[in-house]
Structure 1
């Protein structure tokens, strides 16, 4: 969850409420709280009117884990990930020469959001995202060729948010949504 606002009496926005629900569910899944405590906490989160109310519901939970960061790197050659692989909250992909193919369609995401930073020299890159994913490419800079990405309309709620940033030198990036 993001840091608390300066005014704890301010109303709760939907994102903060959803993050609190996820945090309770994760605490239950990890065995930190009982089913009854999760039900009570969910009721408190859903009826909370201010950030102070929300903070009091979450105060008994263990601290959130710091997001994990991983790097996939190759000086030359191919980088390929597909199937049911684990995607950390922050992933850096580095390749000086060669092709990169990340298939996230059946990947297991560590959280509801994933930040993927590309540091690519030459070569093409292809990223397949889940069908219901929301993709943000605002932080990506391409050198020689533009990227190919068409947003999927309409997107079903509940999919991961994938932020793709970084730098691509010479080559094309193609991002597509999976069919299934």
Structure 2
């Protein structure tokens, strides 16, 4: 039977749990994660997670319940979202005379498609994405910068992150970056 996006996300979260607890090394984690996002059947997903604690037969396409929409603000200050956290389907970031970092490398995706709206006014922010994630960057800049030329392509079936927004006398940097240890 064909696997659904929600099944791939569940296996990705299980793999992340295993990597976080030291049961998988970073290289093996990234290899399995890439294969999980590309998996088309339940059997493929089950083979990737069968040796891990907490592995169960997939829920078979249950409804996707993305994390609630969030807003990150930096007004004369800063924000950081790093480490293990649940990426919502919609995330808005705003930096006014401040800065911020959104690091998706160790995060759990709760939706197959994620929309990040990034706004910088005389401030700056950086969005870090892992190598397997697909990107669609559509932001605009006025007397500032908004990255559009990101190296590399994501993996087939991996989550897609759409980044839109505006940079006015500021910057929005989008960078593809490997996880530490890989």
Per the shorter chain, which TM-score range?
Answer: 0.5 to 0.7
For residue 116 of structure 1, report the CA deviation from its aligned partner: 0.5
Query: Which structure's CA Rg is the greater one?
Result: 1
Aligned partners of 1:150 and 1:176 also within 8 Å: no
Deviation string for 1:32-88 (max 9, x for gaps)?
xxxxxxxxxx7xxxxxxxxxxxxxxxxxx8766577311112321111111112210
- Residues 149/98 of structure 1: CA separation in 2 closer, same or farther (3 Å cut): same
- Residues 123/156 of structure 1: CA separation in 2 closer, same or farther (3 Å cut): same
Three-state SS of the structure 2 residue aligned to 1:162 is strand
Note the residue ranges of structure 2 that are not aligned, 5 or more in a row: 11-41, 43-60
Aligned partners of 2:66 and 2:111 also within 8 Å: no
**Aligned partners of 1:126, 1:26: CA distance in 2, in Å?**
25
Aligned positions of 1:125-140 closer than 5 A = 125-138=125-138, 140=139
Three-state SS of the structure 2 residue aligned to 1:111 is coil
TM-score by length of 1: 0.61
Aligned residues: 134
Instruction: Look up the match of 1:174.
Output: 173
Deviation string for 1:86-113 (max 9, x for gaps)?
2101001122211111111111111122
Bigger relative contact order (CA 8 A; separation at least 6): 2
**Aligned partners of 1:152, 1:99: CA distance in 2, in Å?**
23
Instruction: Look up the match of 1:50.
Output: none
Aligned partners of 1:117 and 1:166 also within 8 Å: yes
Aligned partners of 1:149 and 1:176 also within 8 Å: no
Instruction: Look up the match of 1:21.
Output: 4
Instruction: Look up the match of 2:25.
Output: none
**Aligned partners of 2:135, 2:90: CA distance in 1, in Å?**
15
**Aligned partners of 2:93, 2:78: CA distance in 1, in Å?**
11
For residue 173 of structure 1, report the CA deviation from its aligned partner: 2.0
